[in-house]
Amino acid sequence: MNPSLFFLIFAILIHVPTYLSADDAQYVTCGELLQCANIPNISYPFWVGEGSRPESCGYPGFQLTNCQGDAPIITMEGQQFRVLAMDNGTQSLTVARQDMWNQTCPTYLYNTTLDYNLFSYAPNQQNITMNYDCLENQTQIPYRFDCNANGTASISYFTSGTTSLSSITNTVCNKSVTVPVNQTSGAVLTSSSATVAEMEAALAAGFELQWAANNTRCTQCSGSGGRCGYNTATLSFACYCSDQPYALTCNSTSSVRPCGRVPSEMDSSDLAVLLDLKILLLMYQNHEINSICKVVLTANWLNVAPYLHFSL
Ligand SMILES: *[C@@H]1O[C@H](CO)[C@@H](O)[C@H](O)[C@H]1NC(C)=O
Ligand SMILES: *[C@@H]1O[C@H](CO)[C@@H](O)[C@H](O)[C@H]1NC(C)=O
Ligand SMILES: *[C@@H]1O[C@H](CO)[C@@H](O)[C@H](O)[C@H]1NC(C)=O
Ligand SMILES: *[C@@H]1O[C@H](CO)[C@@H](O)[C@H](O)[C@H]1NC(C)=O
Ligand SMILES: *[C@@H]1O[C@H](CO)[C@@H](O)[C@H](O)[C@H]1NC(C)=O
Ligand SMILES: *[C@@H]1O[C@H](CO)[C@@H](O)[C@H](O)[C@H]1NC(C)=O
Ligand SMILES: *[C@@H]1O[C@H](CO)[C@@H](O)[C@H](O)[C@H]1NC(C)=O
Ligand SMILES: *[C@@H]1O[C@H](CO)[C@@H](O)[C@H](O)[C@H]1NC(C)=O
Ligand SMILES: *[C@@H]1O[C@H](CO)[C@@H](O)[C@H](O)[C@H]1NC(C)=O
Ligand SMILES: *[C@@H]1O[C@H](CO)[C@@H](O)[C@H](O)[C@H]1NC(C)=O
Ligand SMILES: *[C@@H]1O[C@H](CO)[C@@H](O)[C@H](O)[C@H]1NC(C)=O
């Protein structure tokens, strides 16, 4: 056997299987679980960008930032929340307001707002109300805390659930903010012996949300062996499968295949045919191989080009 021909066949043996088994790039990328800050194993719909888990592996509105910090941050309606926990199985997320994480007296006061297209409150959550800038300093009643924002001390009171401010004090407060907490935390704060430390703990424990990011489609896509993502060109859900992206689920009966049959459907006779370079070249020249496949084949052929003139 001509040694060059031997090298040629050797090279084909090395290179042909690599393209036959090459998985779709998005499928591979989106299968990589992300660790962001202290949260491991993050998958769809969350994404980071900047090279690590791109938007195409997530869904808009679920970008996480501050992955080098002490907790991932998710921004909703311009407000920042710390991600304390996430449960992929129940599609739920525990978050705490970043501006009230380690303080009860933020400089800018705003009510908690969600993007209700993407998130809803989980069951068993409730609001507490933080009342700022109140007229009287009634030191004997519970629920009072001092707020020193903007360089001036202001008397403040928190109330939990349906408890009204007027039922605990006759003071009038100029500003108020509602913050969700879980009901366990909220119940503690309705006690007449509730302390400021308990209120701070409730804010730090956060509240639970449920997310909606085409959840049903993702379940169906996953069920068909795909990985969920987002088509940033068509602005819609994408299902990445080992062969190529699909709109909804991996479709094994689709005729749109990059290189004819999928690798799992090939047998030794296919490989034998592929190894016959003259037939392969003929198919290539006769446009019997589609364009995506040609790119792959060309890339592989360039690698073996130094040997080709011996056999053709
Ligand atoms: C993350 O995933 C890996 C592999 O799937 C698993 O071994 C590990 O226990 C997971 N960690 C957590 C905290 O779920
Ligand atoms: C709260 O924590 C942030 C960083 O996590 C820090 O920048 C800020 O100064 C802290 N505020 C207070 C009142 O401790
Ligand atoms: C501090 O000042 C800002 C800007 O004037 C104001 O919006 C905010 O409500 C003030 N904060 C408090 C706690 O009063
Ligand atoms: C928060 O909402 C309450 C009513 O729900 C309102 O009275 C209050 O002014 C709002 N606070 C801010 C800072 O917008
Ligand atoms: C808290 O109050 C707001 C209105 O200020 C309401 O939209 C929201 O549903 C309440 N949150 C919970 C968990 O009940
Ligand atoms: C609340 O607002 C009123 C009118 O805007 C103001 O006169 C009053 O001083 C404010 N209360 C406090 C405690 O600053
Ligand atoms: C309210 O009264 C308590 C006890 O007298 C005092 O420590 C606190 O500084 C007062 N707060 C304000 C804002 O005046
Ligand atoms: C509610 O928050 C408390 C901390 O205040 C936490 O211990 C508890 O697990 C939370 N409950 C639920 C149901 O999330
Ligand atoms: C889920 O997909 C449908 C169809 O593409 C879209 O209309 C809908 O807005 C999506 N859901 C969310 C939460 O974006
Ligand atoms: C999260 O759930 C989706 C859809 O069910 C699944 O495809 C994915 O593998 C899950 N991610 C993790 C980290 O378990
Ligand atoms: C596969 O694709 C064909 C043609 O697009 C479609 O009619 C069929 O419903 C798809 N099957 C699955 C399981 O998605």
Predicted confidence at residue 177, as pLDDT, reads: 96
pLDDT at residue 117 greater than cutoff 70: yes
Mean pLDDT of 140-164: 86
Residues 78 and 152 both lie in one domain? yes
Q: Do residue 18 and residue 139 come from a single domain?
A: no
In which band, very low, low, confident or very high, does the pLDDT at 135 lie, cut at 50, 70 and 90? confident
Domain of 174?
63-211
> What is the rounded average pLDDT for all residues in the chain?
80
Residue 187 lies in a domain: yes
Residue 188 shares a structural domain with residue 276: no
Q: Which protein residue has the closest C-alpha to ligand 11 atom 4?
A: 254
Question: Is-contact 9 307, C-beta < 8 A?
Answer: no
Residue range 95-107: average pLDDT?
Answer: 93
pLDDT: is 265 or 168 the higher one?
168
The answer to whether residues 203 and 306 belong to one domain is: no
pLDDT interval class at 190 (50, 70, 90): very high
- 9 or 171: which carries more pLDDT confidence? 171
Task: Give the mean model confidence (pLDDT) for residues 130-137.
Answer: 88
Q: Whose CA is nearest to atom 5 of ligand 4?
A: 178
* 19 and 82 fall within a common domain: no
Cβ atoms of 304 and 11 within 8 Å: the answer is yes
User: Strands (DSSP E) along 154-201, which ranges?
Assistant: 154-160, 173-182
Question: Is a pLDDT exceeding 60 seen at residue 21?
Answer: no
pLDDT over threshold 50, residue 291: no
Split at pLDDT 50, 70, 90, the class of 3 is: low
Are 220 and 248 in contact by the 8 Å Cβ rule? The answer is yes
Q: Is 114 in the same domain as 166?
A: yes
Q: Is the CB of 43 under 6 A from ligand 10?
A: yes
236 Cβ closer than 6 Å to some ligand 9 atom: yes
Q: Do 19 and 93 belong to one domain?
A: no
| pTM (predicted TM-score) | 0.76
195 or 254, which is more confident? 195
Percentage with pLDDT > 70 across the chain: 73
299 within some domain = yes
Q: Evaluate if residue 76 carries a pLDDT over 80.
A: yes
**Closest alpha carbon to 122 in 52, 184, 37:** 184
3-state secondary structure of 127: strand
Residues near ligand 3 (Cβ within 6 A): 105, 107-109, 132-133, 147, 149-150, 175
Contacts of 308 (CB under 8 A, 6+ apart): 8, 277, 301
Which of the given ranges, 80-89, 161-170, 265-274, has the highest pLDDT on average?
A: 80-89
Q: Are residues 20 and 67 in the same domain?
A: no
Q: Is residue 137 part of a domain?
A: yes
Query: Residue 40 domain-assigned?
Result: no
Closest-lying ligand 11 atom to the alpha carbon of residue 246: 14
Is residue 250 situated within a structural domain?
A: no
* pLDDT score at 14: 44
Whether 134 is in a domain gets the answer yes
**What single-letter amino acid sits at 104?**
T
Ligand 9 neighbour 237 (Cβ under 6 A): yes
In a domain, residue 172? The reply is yes
Asked whether residue 294 carries a pLDDT value surpassing 90, the answer given is no
Residues 195 and 271 in one domain: no
Identify the pLDDT of residue 244.
93
Considering its fold, how many domains does the chain have in total? Answer: 2
Q: What is the pLDDT of residues 196-216, one digit of tens each?
A: 999 999 999 999 999 999 999
Answer whether residue 257 shows pLDDT above 80: no
Asked whether residue 245 is domain-assigned, the answer is no
Residues 103 and 175 in one domain: yes
Q: Helix, strand, or coil here: 245?
A: strand
What is the CA(175)–ligand 6 centre distance, in A?
A: 10
Taking alpha carbons only, the member of 211, 216, 100 closest to residue 156 is 100
Distance 208 CA to ligand 5 centre (A): 12
Are 75 and 185 in the same domain?
Answer: yes
- Indicate whether 218 pLDDT > 70: yes
Q: Which of 36-45, 88-97, 277-286 has the lowest mean pLDDT?
A: 277-286
User: DSSP class of residue 244?
Assistant: -
Does 172 lie in the same domain as 70? yes
